[in-house]
Chain A
Amino acid sequence: MRIDSTHRPWLWFSIALIAVSTAVYIPYARMTTPAGSTGIGLTFGIIALGFMVFAALLSLRKRYRIMRIGSARVWMKAHLWLGALALPMVLFHAAFHARGLLALILMLLTIIVVFSGIYGAYLQHTLPTRMFREVPYETIYDQIGVIQEQLIAEARQHATNVTQMLAPARGPGATVTMTLVEVPEYSSEVAAFDAFFDAKIEPFLKAERKAALKLELRHEEEAAREFENYRKLFPPAAWPPITALEDICSEKRQLDHQIRLHHWLHGWLLIHLPVSAALLLLAFIHAVVALHY
């Protein structure tokens, strides 16, 4: 989600809420010992818990998309801003102290959740643009494995085409007529290209992202130089499949990059989501125990 001008009302709302809360908190803190159990402290705590619960409802909204309660964008914005506001509300509630082990853990979890969320919002603001710019061959993340298989098959086909084109007498489509045609002999070059395909292209296409990092074709310039060398060796008729192979490697490179960006884009959720779940559970326990005592 991009943080754009449509967020401005939420920004003003957040500023206003923090300003009002501060205006309430300062005289309250000067008058008495601020604590979560006082009337004002309890109010801040209820607001904070309310924001947390609302932020958690986003996961339900995503799971049950068929329930059309507000647009996804509004839910996302509310999740973002109210979730972030939970932290100052918690600080006001706790009077900027973490007294007690459960309170300390809650405070730490809140900080982790809010800051991981802010980091996630930053990534979701910047990475899609970067993805659009750097991964023109972007595909559905979960389809990358399928696409990768297709790329390998396609590459094999192009490699066979190159071989057949330059060594027709020895290729599967060889005919007597063709063997009589006078063609330059490229047997050594074709052998070298076959070896290049077997040693570099195919392993690169088959490799997982991390394994591919160690391979030469990962570097675009190096790959371009290699393919250009083969184009120089072969007649122009063989260039299109070689270029296609280069393009396939480029697509594989982009898919690897997409995986990396996707991991950035969604990896923070591996912290944000579990910690949020623990936070919500412990916050409820904290509320129940606090009301009990």
Chain B
Amino acid sequence: MAIRKRTTKLLAKRHDLNYFKKGSPIRTWQFKLALVAIVAAVAWISISASKSAQAFSSGPISSSHAVFGQKCEACHKPVIAGAGFLPVGFGSARKVPDSACESCHTVGLHHANQVVDNKACSTCHIEHVGAMHLAAAPVSGCTQCHGNLEVRTLPANIATHIDGFTKGHPDFRALRTASAEVREAAFGLKFNHADHLKQGLTGSPNGEKVTLQCNYCHQVEDPAGRDAAHAGRMANVSFERSCQSCHSLDFSAKVKEQAPHVEAAKALAFVQARISEAAPGDKAALVKAETILFREKCALCHTVGNIDALPATTITNRLNNSGATLVNASFSPATLQAALDETPTIAPSHAPARFFTAALFSHTAHNTVQCEECHAAALTSTSGNDLLMPNIGVCQRCHDGQSRPQGPALSSGHAESGCGLCHEYHETLKAQLKTGTGAPMPAAFRIDQLTTR
């Protein structure tokens, strides 16, 4: 028989009814620890604040502004001057006005036709998000207007609904607008890329067969990137550097020198001077030299005017590569005089240095890509007037809109697609394009300067 009885009454009697007045040890510890945590937080804040404002920073500043270090006041200005001592909410708030940016950065309007005011710098250039390129503004900064563009007067060929590089961005303007006439004016050369890219070309000075690579002729002008207008730009092809080794400008076996690759009048004067020295009074030799130079050499690539006066049919053999022999030909006095009376002309080439009208493109940044991956048409191009810049679809294969400026790194194959990668918001880029900033480089001639003439 159990002698311990556990009735409710007996159990209740066991308790000290004033127990709740004593306080629970756990609650006491909770209170003590909470107090310690608050004191520790206050102490840490106080110590941190006395040393620097780093602890309160909303994030590391960009590398380009790292020079300011702890000087928050360099950018964060009191809304009301001299009110910095006031409590928060009484005019002491410190914001970043545009004037703080403009004290170092000179920026202009975005576009003369813009109908909205420039937004605050910090709208697009978001600071305190790490050491990234601050100029790489978010796409939304552009698409908020270009997604539904409103301008006072809409220029031709301007897309008005662009939501990103892969969303509504039109093909490059040169491809859309460059007519055959413009291309003829721009290039003015008879050049066959397909022939030159064949394997085992003959005609080299040493007689060996050669296979040309793209970079034999096309080289980046400013690989080091001296300024934004020239960095990574492909230089114009130089005749002397890339062509002359195979296509010499020899014009007479009697003259060892080659004609200079200059305007027609100057080249003609050079030929006349040299022939008059080598064969004084020999009109036939002069006509032969002019014919070889203009009909056989210049006309190979250029459109030569007044060429019909030269006795093309009388020249039966070309100057061979060694320049040793020239088959004699006979001219009538009338033919000779007619040939000498006419001065050949050569239409100048306006080979553009830039094909993008409002964007920058760097070949250097793409040097891991094979040329033909983008310029595939060059392999089959037979006309010098072919515009061989790739269309936007080629770019979008990598710049596919998946990776955004200042965004997280994505897996390979998704190159950044932000507007700022090619375009600049401010007018400074256009100024650079027009004038060229890296002396002694001249301004880069753009293809659109032909279309707007």
Q: Is the CB of A31 within 8 A of B29?
A: no
Q: Is the CB of B33 within 8 A of A142?
A: no
Residue A1 lies at the interface, judged by CB distance under 8 Å to chain B: no
Contact with B along A136-167 (1 / 0, CB 8 A): 00011111001100100010001000000000
Residue A83 lies at the interface, judged by CB distance under 8 Å to chain B: no
Q: Is the CB of A248 within 8 A of B41?
A: no
Nearest-neighbor residue (CB-CB) of A36 within chain B: B58
Q: Is the CB of B37 within 8 A of A277?
A: yes
Residue B391 lies at the interface, judged by CB distance under 8 Å to chain A: no
Option from B29, B48, B88, B126 in Cβ contact (under 8 Å) with A35: B126
In angstroms, Cα B24 to Cα A169, docked, is: 48
Q: How far is the CB of A63 from chain B (nearest CB, A)?
A: 11
Q: Is the CB of A293 within 8 A of B72?
A: yes
In angstroms, Cα B417 to Cα A290, docked, is: 31
Q: Is the CB of B15 within 8 A of A146?
A: yes
Chain B residues with CB under 8 A of A99: 57-60, 128-130
In angstroms, Cα B24 to Cα A269, docked, is: 13
Contact with A along B24-45 (1 / 0, CB 8 A): 1010011001101110111001
Nearest-neighbor residue (CB-CB) of B6 within chain A: A137
Q: How far is the CB of A250 from chain B (nearest CB, A)?
A: 10
Option from B36, B94, B407 in Cβ contact (under 8 Å) with A293: B94
In angstroms, Cα B130 to Cα A278, docked, is: 27
Q: Is the CB of A244 within 8 A of B404?
A: no
Chain B residues with CB under 8 A of A247: 2, 4
Chain A residues with CB under 8 A of B405: 33
What is the interface of chain A mostly: helix, strand, loop, or mixed? helix
Q: Is the CB of A32 within 8 A of B54?
A: no
Q: Is the CB of A140 within 8 A of B19?
A: yes
Nearest-neighbor residue (CB-CB) of A292 within chain B: B88
Chain A residues with CB under 8 A of B20: 142
Which of A122-130, A171-179, A280-288 lines the interface with chain B?
Answer: A280-288
Contact with B along A235-248 (1 / 0, CB 8 A): 00000110110011
Q: Is the CB of A244 within 8 A of B4?
A: yes
Nearest-neighbor residue (CB-CB) of B144 within chain A: A31
Option from B24, B36, B59 in Cβ contact (under 8 Å) with A97: B59
Residue B14 lies at the interface, judged by CB distance under 8 Å to chain A: yes
Residue A214 lies at the interface, judged by CB distance under 8 Å to chain B: no
Which of A100-108, A191-199, A200-208, A221-229 lines the interface with chain B?
Answer: A100-108
Q: Is the CB of B19 within 8 A of A146?
A: yes
Q: Is the CB of A147 within 8 A of B14?
A: yes
Chain B residues with CB under 8 A of A281: 38, 41-42
Residue A289 lies at the interface, judged by CB distance under 8 Å to chain B: yes
Q: Is the CB of A140 within 8 A of B58?
A: no
Chain A residues with CB under 8 A of B55: 100-102
Q: How far is the CB of B23 from chain A (nearest CB, A)?
A: 8
Residue B22 lies at the interface, judged by CB distance under 8 Å to chain A: yes
In angstroms, Cα B14 to Cα A285, docked, is: 50
Contact with B along A84-111 (1 / 0, CB 8 A): 0000000000000101111100000000
Nearest-neighbor residue (CB-CB) of A102 within chain B: B55
**A33-B406, A100-B58 given; A244·B3 CB < 8 A:** yes
Q: Is the CB of B33 within 8 A of A273?
A: yes
Q: Is the CB of B129 within 8 A of A291?
A: no
Chain A residues with CB under 8 A of B34: 273-274, 276-277
Q: Is the CB of A248 within 8 A of B4?
A: yes
In angstroms, Cα B139 to Cα A289, docked, is: 29
Q: Is the CB of B129 within 8 A of A240?
A: no
Chain B residues with CB under 8 A of A97: 59, 129
Q: Is the CB of B19 within 8 A of A293?
A: no
Q: Is the CB of B94 within 8 A of A292?
A: yes
Q: Is the CB of B88 within 8 A of A278?
A: no
In angstroms, Cα B42 to Cα A247, docked, is: 52
Residue B451 lies at the interface, judged by CB distance under 8 Å to chain A: no
Q: Is the CB of A269 within 8 A of B30?
A: yes
Chain B residues with CB under 8 A of A241: 3
In angstroms, Cα B89 to Cα A289, docked, is: 11
Chain B residues with CB under 8 A of A263: 26
Q: Is the CB of A266 within 8 A of B58?
A: no
Contact with A along B109-124 (1 / 0, CB 8 A): 0000000000000000
Chain A residues with CB under 8 A of B15: 139-140, 143, 146-147
**A35-B126, A293-B94 given; A142·B24 CB < 8 A:** yes
Residue B92 lies at the interface, judged by CB distance under 8 Å to chain A: yes
Q: Is the CB of B3 within 8 A of A270?
A: no
Chain B residues with CB under 8 A of A22: none
Chain A residues with CB under 8 A of B130: 99
Q: Is the CB of B56 within 8 A of A289?
A: yes
Chain A residues with CB under 8 A of B11: 139
In angstroms, Cα B240 to Cα A4, docked, is: 87
Chain A residues with CB under 8 A of B89: 291
Q: Is the CB of B129 within 8 A of A35?
A: yes
Q: Is the CB of B407 within 8 A of A33?
A: yes
5 A-B residue pairs with CB within 8 Å: A102-B48, A139-B14, A143-B16, A291-B93, A292-B93
Residues of A near any B CB (own CB < 8 A): 30-33, 35-37, 97, 99-103, 139-143, 146-147, 150, 154, 158, 240-241, 243-244, 247-248, 262-263, 266-267, 269-270, 273-278, 281-282, 285-286, 288-293
| Shortest 9 CB-CB contacts between residues of A and residues of B | A99-B59, A274-B37, A274-B33, A278-B37, A31-B140, A32-B138, A277-B34, A278-B41, A274-B34
